[in-house]
Every structure is written in C-alpha cells, then in structure tokens.
Chains A and B, each alone.
Chain A
Amino acid sequence: MLLIHCPYCEEDRSELEFRWAGEAHIARPENIAAISDEEFAEYFFLRNNEKGLTYERWRHIHGCGRFFNAARDTVSDRFLTTYKAGMPKQLLPETGASEKTVETYEATEGDAR
C-alpha cells in the first residue's frame, strides 16, 4: 500500500484515502467545440502510460477531497513529489527517477542478477 503526501493536508497518508485520477497536465482545450477530430483524440483518448517517471493526478477523496498532481516512478512505485492542482509540471531528471529502481515482480522472474 502506497504512502502518499497530500499537498493540501501536508501529511503522508495511506493510499486507502486516495483515488487515482489519470494522467496529469492534460488541459481541456479552451475552444473545445472547435477542435479537430485528431485534436480531440489527442486530448481525450491518448495517454502516455510511461514506464518510469510519470505525472498523474490523485484525489484525496476520503480526506480533504482535493485533486492534486504527483510525479511517480511506475517501476519502483516511488513518489518523487506531489503538488497542488494548477501548478506547472515539476520537471524532474528522468535518470534520477530510475537510477535506484528495480524491476517489477514479473520482470524479475528468471532474472536474478
């Protein structure tokens, strides 16, 4: 179970209190009614699903109720930072994120060093 820092409550709380809410920093187009099919597909359907450093939204649904952003390493499940909704993307060095990581259970099978 993950331990997540809520940037509004300023506390580390158990994953049980949170709900994942998809990839972060995807702004709804201001002129959404006028965008092309391709632009709509890009906005609504396509997601990066990164291995390694990923930016995602969480909601402290059983706490303060706020949505916020998080940078997480999907390989190690380590949270690198969390920050409030509306703040610009917190740029982090990609290598810094994966340097200390290890493979997932499935990837390690048959692959002990």
Chain B
Amino acid sequence: MSASSNSGTFRIKGAGRLTPARTARFTFDGKSYTALEGDTVASALLAHGVHLLGRSFKYHRPRGILSAGPEEPNALIDVSRDAARRQPNVRATVQEVFDGAKIASQNRWPSLKFDVGAINNLFSPFFAAGFYYKTFMWPREAWVKIYEPFIRRAAGLGVAPTEEDPDHYANRYAHCDVLIAGAGVAGLTAALSAAATGQSVFLVDEQPEVGGALHYDTATTIDGQNGYDWAQAIAAKLKAMPNVTVLTRTTVFGYYNHGFLGLVERVTDHVAKPAKSAPRERLWQVRAKKVVLATGSIERHMVFANNDRPGIMLASAARTFLNHHGVAVGRQVGVYTAHDSAYEAAFDLKRAGVSIAAIVDCRPDPGEALLAQARALGISVLSGHSVTDTGGRLRISSMTVARNGGGDARRIAVDSLIVSAGWTPSVHLFSQSRGKLRFDGVNQRFLPDIYAQNCVSVGSCNGTDDLAELIDEAIAAGGGSVTLAGENRFEWTGGMIGAAEGAGPDTTVKAFVDFQHDVTAKDIRLAVREGMHSIEHIKRFTTNGMASDQGKLSNMHGLAIAAEMLDRPIPQVGLTTFRAPYTPVTYGTLVGHSRGELFDPARKTPMHALEAAEGAEFEDVGNWKRAWYYPRRGEDMLAAVNRECRTVREVAGVFNGSTLGKIEVVGPDAAQFLNLLYTNAWDSLKPGKSRYGIMTREDGFVYDDGVVGRLAEDRFHVTTTTGGAPRVLHHMEDYLQTEFPHLRVWLTSTTEQWAVIAVQGPKAREIIQPFVDGVDISNEAFPHMSVAECSVMGVPARLFRVSFTGELGYEINVPADYGPAVWRAIWERAAPIGACLYGTETMHVLRAEKGYIIVGQDTDGTVTPDDAGLGWAVSSKKSDFVGIRGLKRPDLVREGRKQLVGLLTKDPALVLEEGGQIVADPNQARPMTMLGHVTSAYWSENCGRSIALALVAGGRARIGETLHVPLKDRTIEVEVTDMVFFDKQGGRING
C-alpha cells in the first residue's frame, strides 16, 4: 500500500476516481487536512485515518462514519464558511469538501476525545427507553427549571447558528411528463427510454454525479462498458437533449398529491467561492404527469453488542470509499455479514492490498461459489459464526467471534469492521405518494404493491435485483424502446432483519438499532414488556427512527425485534409511515424569498409617506399599515390621543380612511341584490343619498357593516370594514353566482382605486369648501348622508357627507394616485385653522363616545343586529334577505340575550380593560355567573372620564343597574347606561 503525497495515508494509489493533483484544504476541529476534489468530508477524513467524528445523542459514545451516503445517522458535523454561514447536523458523508471549509464535531465537551457527557454511558441503566416519562415527573416546576434545560444540554446534536443567514435561496416551478427519482442504472435507463419518446423528462439524483450503486459496484458492465463510465456517458447524452433536464446534487424530498414533488437542489454548498448572485439552494416544485421511482435500496447494519464503535461501517460504504474515493477504511479489516454483498467489499479491499482478518457470516452455509472465491484470495470465512462483541475506545481494536449457539469464542484484532445485514428497498417516496406496501417474506422486505398515483417503481426499490430484469423494467417504465445489455458478475442473496446473536437478551448489552437516537435492541424489548404493542407506540416510546435520518437503517431492525417479542409476523406488526422530507431540508430552502419585508408584504395607503413625515406611529390592521396616532414633541400615546380627540370636536381633524373596503355594485338589479345581501331596504334610497347598512350571514349574525352610497339608479358605492373587504366580496360573489344568478349585477373591488380623506369636525366644511367643484355642499343642499360625484382640486371625486365621529364630516374619495396631492392641500389649509391629523386610536375613541360599533370588536360572530342595538336597520317589509330565517331562530329571539350597552365606572378615572368579565354579585361563590364582557374601553377626554361598551345579558333592561368587573387585585363597580356618551341629542352631526 502506498499513500499518495499528502491527501492521506489511507489513500490507495491507482484506486478510486479522484484526481490526485486536485486538492482542497479544510480543517476538522481546528486541525488542517488536505483532501482531493470530489471527496466528501467522510472520505477525506478516512483517508487520514480519522474515524472518530462525533459523540452520540444520549450516551455520548464515540461515533464514526457508518455509511457513505444520505442515510448516515452517525457522522453529523458542523460546517462553516464564516461566522454567519454555519450549519449544524450536516452529514459528513454528503458534504463535499471545498477549499477553506471549517468542519467541527458536535455534542462533545470539552473535546471530542475527552467528553464529560460520556458519563451518561456509565449511568445508562437510568437512561433506558421512556426514562424521561418516568423519571422526571415531580415536582412539576422542576421540569422547566432543572430537568428540561439539563436534558437539552446533555442530550443533543449540533448548535443552531445565531447570526442571520446571509445567503439567498431560489424557488422554481416546473412541469414535466416524466420525473425520474434516482440516476442509478434503473433511473438512467428509464430516462433514456422516456427521452427517446420525446416526452419532457426530469432526471434527479442526490449525489454530485449520476451512477447510484455504480459508485461502488465495479462488477457491473453495461454495453461492454464499465458501469460508472457508462452512467457518465449516458448522463452527458441526456443533458444534450432539449427535452431532458438532469439535476444532480438534488433530492426529491417530498411526493405529494397529483404528481406534485418537492426537490431541493444544493447549488453552492460544494463550491469554495460561490458567486454572490448564486443561490445557496434552490427549491423546485415540479408537477409531473408520471413519476418513475428508481431510488435503489439502503444497506442495513448488523445489530450486536457494541456495534457502534468508530471503524465499524457498512460494507457498501467501505466499497464506495475504496472504489470511488480511493480510500481504505483500515489496514486490518474484519467483515460481519448476513448477506453476500459484504463479500464483494472484502474481495475489493483484499485486491487493493488491505488485509482481511476474517469474514464472519452468521449464515451456516453462504454457498460454495463465495467460499471458493474467498479461498482463492486467501480470506478465511467463519460461517455459522457471529461477532458477539467489539473492543476499543475511540476506535474499534478487536472483534469477539463465537460460533452460533455459543462456544469457540476468540478475539480477533481489527482496525475496522465492515458489516451487512442486507438491503432495504427505499420505498419512502412511494409511501409518501400514498402507495401501499406488501411484505416480501422470502427476502424480508417491504415492496411497492398498490399505487395511488401515476407512478412506477423500478430497480432495487421495487425488489428487482437481477440486472437484465431491471433494465427491461426501466425501459418499460420510460415508455420508449432502447436496447441495453447489462452484465453483473455477481448474484446477491441473503440478509437478515432484527438482532443478531451478539445482541444478547441481557439488559446491559448495547446493541444499537438506531444510532442517531441511541436506541438499542433491549430498549425495543423493554418497550414491548412495558405494554407497547403497536409499532407506533414502540416507535414513540423508544424514539426509534425518530431522529433526523428517520430510521433509514433502523426501522426494519426495530420492527423485527418488536415482532419477535410480540410473537407476531412482521406484516401484522406493521410499518410506521414514511413522511416527507426524505432527508432534512433547510428552512432557507422552504422559505425562499419570503423573508424580511417579503415575508408578509405590508399594504400601504397612497398617503403613507406623508403620514410618516408627520411623525405618525403606525399600527397593523390586517396587512395594512394604518396611522395610529401622531405624537408631537414630548407627547406619549395618551397625550397625543387626548389632544387629537379634543381638537376634532373643537376644530376639525383629517383622517386617512383609504383602507376602508370598497365594492362597486352596478347593474339594473343592483338595488334588488343589495336588498338580498343587507338587512336594510335599498329601494327607497334615492341617488345622491347614502345609508348605513348591516350584513348578516344566513344564521342571522352580524357579518359586516358600512355606508352604502347610491350614485345612480344602477350604481352603488359600497363600503366595508377594513379587514372585511375580501370576505365580503367573496360572500357577495357567492350569492350572485350561485343563488341569485338571474340578477344583472356586476361586482368590482375598488378598495385600492380610491384614496379616502376624511375631514371631521365643526370646521370641516370650511376646510374643504375651496377645493370642491360641481356640488353645493351647504348644510341645506348637502345634508348628512349625502353623496355626490364632483371634482376636488380638479380631480374627479366622490364626496360623502358622513361621520364616524358624530361631528359634521366629509369623506373625499379621489383616485388613489391623486390621494397624496389632495391630502397635502387639505392639510395645508386645515393646519393653520387649528385642525389636527388623527389616527385610528382617536377614531376608535370618538366613535365609542357616540356608541358606534366596530364589527369584530363589539361583535364576535354571535351578535344579532338587535343585540348590537341596530334592530332599526333590519327591514320588516322585505320578504327575503340573507339572514331573514336565521334571525327567527328560537335562540336569537329569546329574552335575556347579551346586548350591547354602555358602562360607566363609578370612579370616572378608572379605565376598564377590554375583555373584562361582568358579574352582578362580586361576592358570589366561584365560579361566578358571568353576565358578559367589556368590548371597548377608553379614556374619553371629551367626556372627562372613562367610557366603555359591553355585551351584557339582558343589557338594555339593566340600564341604571350597578354591576361589577372583578379583576385579579380588585373589583370595579360600573353602572349600565345607554351607548351614547357624547352629544346625546346628536345635533353636531348636522352642523
């Protein structure tokens, strides 16, 4: 064995496919190493003889590299480029080395070789399955303060990065005729076949290069060519075809309804210096008419005592490291197997000059062909034997071998042990697509049975092991005609699931089933003994298969052990469900561009910048940003709101009402349509007038409200609540399209087309007068609830005389683009007169002073118009409207319903809390009989005291009564009143 220059002493000259001259430097736990381009972190470290990569989750046991692919449960590392670009829990077998990569081990302190947490290993009898549930029951408080923080620190994986992710992530949608998941022999063949028909084809593989099992399987030739070279040539041919998209480093992580698939493409994670414009990862959302699953299968480990020491790995992984990366996993390698495939690994290693200590085969008779080959290579085979234990601390140093059934035990020195319990077909995506599996009892595996979608499985994920058969199957799946001749020098048989001899029935042996969650065979036995008889319960009790690798190696073993304990056949015990994602997907990929300002885009009115320039504080109302209040120097919110409230009633205020929902209802039958959708009658409303309307649902409860102006016989300007506009339009469209399609009516959302400037207060007319043309706005000609189309500053406008403050008021609607200009002009005139800008908080207080309700605040979906004191708005003359029958339901007309009333605190300085419960007798026994709750409560500067609205059982009959609002530390006495607190005669509105 001769090592190549400096890329590791375990690098074998002439082996593998990497180029010795092309190197990359990286660090592992601060120490610098040289790798070759194309190395994974795992292969690069193995080349330097480094097997110890991390500590396990629960027991902090030293752990190494188990696999060479995405199924890796053990070798999780932290990868970083700089302080912000750091990712924990990356599989070392997937991460490609790039120049300058900083790799760190995880879950160890103070160092990987000396880890204090490893003491958990000694206390392991206390850490058996389910111990969390049993041990840390009492006292309750200790969970939050002691147990949970301790457990979280002690048992864990990587540490999440603390800085904001500076990378960006892309998102693409695509459609295709055929999507093929997996580009091994089966996938490539299916792609060739499908592409030949002219269909649009996506061929997707998670590895950097196509080939799948051909990475390690050097015994396969296709069309007379070495398998791996054939694969690369086919990929090049496919890439050149216009109807084919080949995506490598791309994982199909989810298979959803109707041929919808989620893919993640890793664009720059392997690049030393990524271009700034390149996304780190790209999410593909693909709709495929047909899906071909060529996902292959995953080798299983053997379950025996201390099967987790660094240096123990899957046979196929050792073969990949040798045949692809040119790295030997050791110098003295033991083999423990229940399947033929490990022999091939041993033979390859031996031919490359690695010493094979022995092949231990638990099967009594592996077959003469294999034995003959082993003999020819000088490898001793111990059939009918098992490895019952291993030795070594930070790396395996020996294996203990005994004859099955006991006896003849001996210890054999090894520096690596490669294992194989056979192969598990990767049916994850098939199962995600809701396909049903069947159990193949002969080969002890689950295979696709009933398909739920237009999908077909080919190759080893379908249980097709024979190469010629596999090629035929793949060609048929692609739908085209291609001729290929494959040859494989090997036929594989064998395999086992469950615990091997060395797993031991005793309670101290650690024979790991799930490496990532530290679940052992005895944990699963314990779970069954404790009464967990469903595989779902066993899984959750032991957490087997619940780590980030989702049990790709462990599920079948766990199932077999449970089945044996339960004495039931495996299909009856069942399999837990496979769920997306197949392998972990970063949040960045899923989120894509939807972060920061794009996470939930804000809606801003045309006047937003002007409001901000005047110092407005904004509040979120749905997606809208609304001016909340306008604090002046030295003012807090209350002071600002008090000043605004006073100024509106004394002089005037200017308010941005643009967020109000607006719907244009047009057509010969428009009035008839509104008659059906609102409780009010609209026939009698003359053009040029407006009316406050209430909309109920069919059940009779208030759904929305707003002022509706009639501009012409066939044209209404309908306003809705700010938050209600979309659902009101949806509700209207529903009735128009499906219940009243005979009505000639058209509905158009105009919310964003109109900017709305409200001017309210005694001087409102004086302020707007000079700007308005085309309508006489004197009190006589244009009284309260008038509406007109006119022009304001030469801009076509709709002018409403309307008030949500109880003052003389106007709402000027101008096309949105003109909003800022009109707003600026009005404010320039209003300010010198002594008016103010006011925000939503003042609007809330002023309307409450007048007892005007806010739907959604003073009502909650169980309030009828009458409950809200708006019974007058329900027409008694109409024969039909939405809600007419609901309003007659017995519960809606009974006595004692909650009604909206006013509340005045006995102490005028106290402001109630919204949501506060109301009782008659505060001294009654708990639980108290609650009469209702406070819906709105404010300090009213204009009334010089606090005011409130409340829903109270039988409320209107209680006017004058004293009730109580019990709070945690005191009880507030209140008097029930009517809902109008200011200007009870209502004269100001007509000023």
Q: Which residues of A contact B446 (CB under 8 A)?
A: 112
- Taking a contact as CB atoms under 8 Å apart, the answer to whether A44 and B886 are in contact is yes
Q: Which residues of B contact A11 (CB under 8 A)?
A: none
- Taking a contact as CB atoms under 8 Å apart, the answer to whether A113 and B571 are in contact is yes
Partner of B889, one of A19, A37, A103: A37
Partner of A105, one of B434, B733, B738, B739: B434
Distance to closest chain A CB from B556 (angstroms): 12
- Taking a contact as CB atoms under 8 Å apart, the answer to whether A40 and B577 are in contact is no
In the complex, chain B residues 394-449 whose Cβ is within 8 Å of any chain A Cβ: 434-439, 446, 449
Is A55 part of the contact surface with B, judged by Cβ < 8 Å?
no
- Taking a contact as CB atoms under 8 Å apart, the answer to whether B890 and A113 are in contact is no
Q: Which residues of B contact A32 (CB under 8 A)?
A: 880, 884-885
Q: Which residues of A contact B260 (CB under 8 A)?
A: 1, 3
- Taking a contact as CB atoms under 8 Å apart, the answer to whether B734 and A67 are in contact is yes
Stretch from B251-259, B655-663, B900-908 that touches the partner: B251-259
Complex Cα distance A7/B879, Å?
A: 34
Is A109 part of the contact surface with B, judged by Cβ < 8 Å?
yes
Complex Cα distance A82/B308, Å?
A: 56
Is B535 part of the contact surface with A, judged by Cβ < 8 Å?
yes
Distance to closest chain B CB from A108 (angstroms): 6
Q: Which residues of B contact A44 (CB under 8 A)?
A: 698-699, 886
Partner of B449, one of A35, A77, A86, A113: A113
Distance to closest chain A CB from B453 (angstroms): 9
Is A21 part of the contact surface with B, judged by Cβ < 8 Å?
yes
Complex Cα distance A103/B260, Å?
A: 19
Stretch from A46-54, A58-66, A89-97 that touches the partner: A58-66
In the complex, chain B residues 256-299 whose Cβ is within 8 Å of any chain A Cβ: 256-260, 285, 287
Distance to closest chain A CB from B624 (angstroms): 20
- Taking a contact as CB atoms under 8 Å apart, the answer to whether B577 and A109 are in contact is yes
Interface residues on A, range: 35 or more
Distance to closest chain B CB from A55 (angstroms): 13
Is B226 part of the contact surface with A, judged by Cβ < 8 Å?
no
Q: Which residues of B contact A1 (CB under 8 A)?
A: 256-258, 260, 285
Complex Cα distance A97/B536, Å?
A: 30
Q: Which residues of B contact A19 (CB under 8 A)?
A: 730
Is A102 part of the contact surface with B, judged by Cβ < 8 Å?
yes
Partner of B434, one of A35, A86, A102: A102
Complex Cα distance A108/B435, Å?
A: 10
Partner of A85, one of B452, B576, B737, B885: B737
Distance to closest chain B CB from A2 (angstroms): 5
- Taking a contact as CB atoms under 8 Å apart, the answer to whether B737 and A67 are in contact is yes
Is A81 part of the contact surface with B, judged by Cβ < 8 Å?
no
- Taking a contact as CB atoms under 8 Å apart, the answer to whether A59 and B730 are in contact is yes
Number of B interface residues at 8 Å Cβ cutoff, please give it.
44
Q: Which residues of B contact A110 (CB under 8 A)?
A: 534-536, 573-576
Complex Cα distance A21/B737, Å?
A: 13
Is B612 part of the contact surface with A, judged by Cβ < 8 Å?
no
Complex Cα distance A109/B880, Å?
A: 51
Distance to closest chain A CB from B737 (angstroms): 5
Q: Which residues of B contact A33 (CB under 8 A)?
A: 879-880, 884-885, 888
Complex Cα distance A108/B578, Å?
A: 10
Max count, chain B CB within 10 A of own CB: residue among A2, A61, A85, A112: A112
Complex Cα distance A100/B452, Å?
A: 7
Q: Which residues of B contact A103 (CB under 8 A)?
A: 434, 436
Partner of A112, one of B574, B879, B885: B574
Max count, chain B CB within 10 A of own CB: residue among A14, A57, A113: A113
- Taking a contact as CB atoms under 8 Å apart, the answer to whether A40 and B886 are in contact is yes
Q: Which residue of B lies closest to A41 (CB)?
A: B889
Partner of B737, one of A66, A100, A109: A66
Is B137 part of the contact surface with A, judged by Cβ < 8 Å?
no
Distance to closest chain A CB from B750 (angstroms): 15
Q: Which residues of A contact B579 (CB under 8 A)?
A: 105
Q: Which residues of A contact B438 (CB under 8 A)?
A: 112-113
Partner of B450, one of A2, A37, A102: A102
Complex Cα distance A67/B888, Å?
A: 29
Distance to closest chain B CB from A56 (angstroms): 13
Distance to closest chain B CB from A96 (angstroms): 16
- Taking a contact as CB atoms under 8 Å apart, the answer to whether B435 and A102 are in contact is yes
- Taking a contact as CB atoms under 8 Å apart, the answer to whether B258 and A3 are in contact is yes
Distance to closest chain B CB from A99 (angstroms): 11
Is B601 part of the contact surface with A, judged by Cβ < 8 Å?
no
Partner of B571, one of A35, A40, A86, A112: A112
Q: Which residue of B lies closest to A86 (CB)?
A: B741
Distance to closest chain B CB from A7 (angstroms): 13
- Taking a contact as CB atoms under 8 Å apart, the answer to whether A113 and B439 are in contact is yes
Given A44-B886, A105-B579, A113-B449, check contact A2 B880 (CB 8 Å): no
Q: Could you give 11 example pairs across A and B, Cβ below 8 Å?
A: A32-B884, A32-B885, A40-B889, A67-B738, A77-B258, A102-B450, A104-B434, A105-B577, A109-B577, A110-B536, A113-B439
8 additional A-B pairs beyond A27-B739, A77-B257, beta carbons within 8 Å, are A19-B730, A33-B885, A102-B435, A102-B436, A110-B535, A110-B574, A111-B574, A112-B438
* A-B complex: 5 closest residue pairs judged by Cβ atoms: A110-B574, A3-B258, A112-B575, A102-B452, A112-B437
